[in-house]
Structure 1
């Protein structure tokens, strides 16, 4: 089968009413109640945005039975700080996983990486998106600057990798991690 499109228009994805008012809010409450009865109310959660530019701190999982947060309704406003064209995976890995990387230059994007014993050859890379540590949170071990790259392998799979640390500034050699996978 082949499909030919003589004219196409952009179709912006949209989702209306999941956190809406009136009947839609009632339907959402009924869905949460039904899922809670079937699976247990402690197992139903929703994402709630948090004020942080560190990706793993930017969203928290909270019980869905807790009332709808005004912050949830303003999710689009929370992500409005991202520069034009910057995209991030909708879901991150539970914890960033270490990967072995080969790059042409030390501060450059990866060309080949190994994750979970599988080697991926990078066809395209975008970045870096530099994320500095939150200086007001001095954690154990400090926190280092991260350079995030959106990479696509030869088969079209897209990954979100970052280099933890900078070669010129940090004493330890920077390490690479895979933080998310694009759908």
Structure 2
């Protein structure tokens, strides 16, 4: 039957090696530059890359878009290729900004780009592009570009420190406090985001600034088992409650019960949260874990967060 039948049999038995070569989607914009004579200077190659970035910016402007991801490949005359990729938190099409990020990426490389016998081809692609509207500059101070300057700083820090080192918190669709936010790389997360109701101006915050993960167990004295706390012990220190607000009842997510559990509970329990203040004016976020009588005969108490 020939070698093809043997290769097919080996593939079925898992003995053969048949690598996959998927067809990738074409990038939104692709610009190539071929050189008759190889370029032996990385600095000169970056100048040509700046021209390509300007051309890519013009194409993006014609489409009303901005790039979120840029990839540059330096092809050497001996067949080696040096790919570089940068990402941005906001769509950009400004050539100096793109080139600045490319330089940051090159400076962050542990093994610098070696031109060898020279680069005979450069390629710049924009795999990810999004709509980008024109922005109006402020007359004084550039206030209209303040958000863009912060995004540019985040992009540069992400390249220097690493993509996953610079993170931004984004809200999640969950009312369990420790699951209501998610840390994502800043170049992926979008800002601004809607964090829901924040209360009236001048009111105390609804949620503490600092959350303990996991919540810390405390000893509580209450008038009745399902009543507010009067005194609690945390880290061997006794705190007298002079003011409290609550309870704010948060039921477990029954469709994914283990997520509401604490310390290995197989099912989640109802939480009654209290915002309390001790005699020294320090404010805490406590909760009683479990409904007395209905879910547990002895509900536990936990300290979940500290207010400023």
Structure 1 length-normalised TM: 0.76
Runs of 4+ in 1 over 3 A off after TM superposition: 33-41, 82-86
- 136, 140, 150: which is aligned to 1:28? 150
Q: Does structure 1 retain, via aligned residues, the 8 Å contact 2:269–2:289? A: yes
- 169, 177, 181: which is aligned to 2:294? 169
Counterpart-to-counterpart distance in 1, 2:296 and 2:286: 21
Q: Does structure 1 retain, via aligned residues, the 8 Å contact 2:269–2:290? A: yes
For the residue of structure 1 that corresponds to 2:281, the secondary structure is coil
Counterpart-to-counterpart distance in 2, 1:87 and 1:33: 32
Q: Does structure 1 retain, via aligned residues, the 8 Å contact 2:230–2:240? A: yes
For the residue of structure 2 that corresponds to 1:156, the secondary structure is coil
For the residue of structure 2 that corresponds to 1:28, the secondary structure is helix
Match of 1:160 in 2: 285
- 196, 200, 203: which is aligned to 1:79? 196
- 8, 24, 42: which is aligned to 2:164? 42
Q: CA deviation at 1:40?
A: 4.1
- 242, 266, 273: which is aligned to 1:141? 266
- 119, 124, 127: which is aligned to 2:246? 127
Counterpart-to-counterpart distance in 1, 2:192 and 2:150: 13
Q: Does structure 1 retain, via aligned residues, the 8 Å contact 2:170–2:193? A: no
Greater C-alpha radius of gyration: 2
Match of 2:230 in 1: 111
| Structure 2, gaps ≥5 residues long | 1-89, 91-134, 136-143, 259-264
For the residue of structure 1 that corresponds to 2:164, the secondary structure is helix
Change over 3 Å in CA distance of 1:123–1:28 after alignment to 2: same
Change over 3 Å in CA distance of 1:31–1:94 after alignment to 2: farther
| Structure 1, gaps ≥5 residues long | 1-18
Q: Cα RMSD (Å) of the superposition?
A: 2.4
Change over 3 Å in CA distance of 1:121–1:138 after alignment to 2: same
Structure 2 length-normalised TM: 0.47
Q: Does structure 1 retain, via aligned residues, the 8 Å contact 2:222–2:231? A: yes
- 48, 55, 58: which is aligned to 2:177? 55
Counterpart-to-counterpart distance in 1, 2:306 and 2:162: 29
Q: CA deviation at 1:34?
A: 4.3
Figure out how many residues of one structure are paired with residues of the other and give that number: 158
Q: Does structure 1 retain, via aligned residues, the 8 Å contact 2:290–2:296? A: no
Counterpart-to-counterpart distance in 1, 2:185 and 2:213: 18
